[in-house]
Amino acid sequence: MPELTYREAIRETLREALNNDNRVFLMGEDIGAYGGAYGVTQGLLAEFGEQRVKDSPIAESVLVGAGIGAAMGGLRPIVELMTINFSLLASDQIVNAAAKMLFMSGGQITVPLIIRTVSGGGNQLGASHSQCLEGWYAQVPGLKVVSPSTPYDACGLLRSAVAEETPVMFVEHSLLYNFRGPVPDEYYTVPIGEADVKRVGSDVTIVAHLRMVHVALQAAEELAEEGIEAEVVDLRSLRPLDTDTINESVMKTNRAVVVEEGWKTGGFGAEVVSSIMEHSFDYLDAPVARVAGQEVPMPYNRDLEQAAIPRPGDVVAAVKSLV
C-alpha cells in the first residue's frame, strides 16, 4: 500500500474531485500560484486553470459568502481559510447563512460547501494564529465538522465531504502535513460521524482528535512499557459525534481520559465527558480525567508554546492518576 503525507493525501483528493465533477472549484488566499500557505494546492492552478482554482483577496467574509452563493447556485465550492482563526471574520456567513439555509428555506436550498481550514499551535505563530476553534463550530446544527488525524482519514473524509449536500468544516492541523501513512490506491471513503479505534487496549480509554491523537498514541506506548494498556479512540468527526464508539470502549476499559489541544474551559472535551457520564457512568472505576491546553493566549516563545500544548507526559500522568 503506497504511503502519502497528510498534505499529499488532501491534494490528491482535491485533484480527484476537480477531475470528477466540473462543478467543483477551489477558492482561497494564495492557493493558486503560491500553492497554498501550507503547500496543499501546489500545482493545481497549472493543471486546472484560474476558473477552477481561484485566488481570493484577504477578505474571509467575502470568500465564504461567495462560496455560499456559488453552492446555492448549483456549484460545489471548496473554500480554503488559511487558519481557523481567520474564520472568525466569516463566522456570520458560516453560522447564520451556510448552516441555516437548508432549514430556513424549508429544505428547498442546499449549500454543498466545504470550508478547509487549519487549527492548532506549535509553529510559533502567536496568540491570534494558534487557536483550536473547531469545537465552537461543532455546536452549530446544520454544520458538519471533521478533523482527520492521518492521511488515510484525510482522504476518506474529504471524499465523503465532497459528496455532502450540507456545509462541512474540514479542519486540518499544520503539524500533521508532513506526517506519512498508508493510503490505498483503490477508492474508499471514511463516513462522517464515525470514530476510529487507533490502538486497542484494556485498561483505559484515551479519546482525542487531530494532532492529539498522535500525542495519545505516544503516551500509550510509554504506558505499555509499564504494563498499562491504553485504547486510543480518534473522534475523526466532532459533529456528528460518534458517542457509541466512545462508550463501547469505556465500558470495556472502565476508565477514560479525554485529550484536546484547546482550552479546557468550554472545550469540546467537556461534551465527550458528558456523553461518557450519561451512558457509561455505571461502568466507571474512576472519574473521567481531562487533559487540555493551558488557559492562556498561545505564547510566541517556543519553550512557552510547547509548555502550553498537551504533551505525552501530561497524558501519561492523567492515566496514572486513574489506575
Active site residues: 60, 129
Cell numbers given for 86: 481567520
Q: Identify the residue whose cell numbers are 487533559.
A: 291
Whether residue 95 contacts residue 265, with contact meaning beta carbons closer than 8 Å, is answered with no
Q: Identify the residue whose cell numbers are 457509561.
A: 280
Angle between helices 243-253 and 269-280 (to 10 degrees): 60
Give the span between the Cα atoms of 106 and 164, in whole angstroms.
18
**C-beta atoms surrounding 58 within 10 Å:** 11
Nearest partner of 205 among 240, 243, 148, judged by Cα:
243
Whether residue 257 contacts residue 291, with contact meaning beta carbons closer than 8 Å, is answered with yes
